[in-house]
Structure 1
């Protein structure tokens, strides 16, 4: 009698590990990682460890110090022109540069060596007009008394005449550019078209 052949079945293969345990371990790893990052950020903020620092994105991200321009301990956005030497501290500027230039809104014409010229062309040496001196970590300047003086100094050696200026507002801004390429600018106010002269008629003075 022929024997009935029985079909041989392979035993079920065992999976390596429990999927529930693996998921739990993965979640715990993510929580631990987030906790580490959060703790570092908290400690950095709490201890002012991130003060004056920004983060530059990239594969080899390195922290870069933020540029700031300061006078008397406060960041400068605008400053009044005076006859005194004004000192501006440059924070995290490295080998910085300073440029004095006309405001875009301040446009008028004048005669330069007998030819009509526009103030907005900004081709004069206004650093000379402001007597800008760059030192280690700061710079100084002295603002001109009025726009006529500024033009005569900026175009030294040339003939300035017929300044047709009816503009009322801020004539100049100063741009500070850090070695990193970042820049900040602030206005210099209270420079007028001409000197302000107050005339008193003797006949109108009553004692």
Structure 2
């Protein structure tokens, strides 16, 4: 399966570099480019890419606002890609619904892998975005279905709760499978069901709910 990618960055050379790097992946294709947030919104509506690499600082509409608008009408995945890795940018990007947050210092293999990860339905943060940052974000609101009595996690089975706890500690599906002695497919199924039951968008917001509801400590 080919993964379609939209590049949104106000610097032509940056877009050219990303385009060149992504084209080296046989399963990746760049379907369009945008130099402003407004252009990114229009391109996303027309091209319906699987993944968008979105810069934050662009003329006019910024990348975070563009992300929020795009995810309001399109079921796509957005990776915020920037040179400015600060807590507030992480908070804003995740609140807007981004599935990933990476700096432009990422290596070529890492960039291609990141696109594949979010396209597959997972979410990622760069290694330097620590649990401290996620823990701080956990105190901010996130859309989730409230269960009777206010315990959102009550809708989960015991095994799903355990899987969510492991997700929140940073484990991949393969790691979770090894820890619980189950198959990676079963682990992924538990994660998918937990996301659906809790009414959250993706793995990142699943982590946030785990922190908010005390399943893991900050």
* TM-score category of the 2 structures, normalised to the smaller one: under 0.3
Structure number with higher strand proportion: 1
TM-score (norm 2): 0.21
Compare CA radii of gyration and give the structure with the larger one.
1
**Higher-RCO chain (CA-CA 8 Å, sequence separation at least 6):** 1
Structure number with higher helix proportion: 2
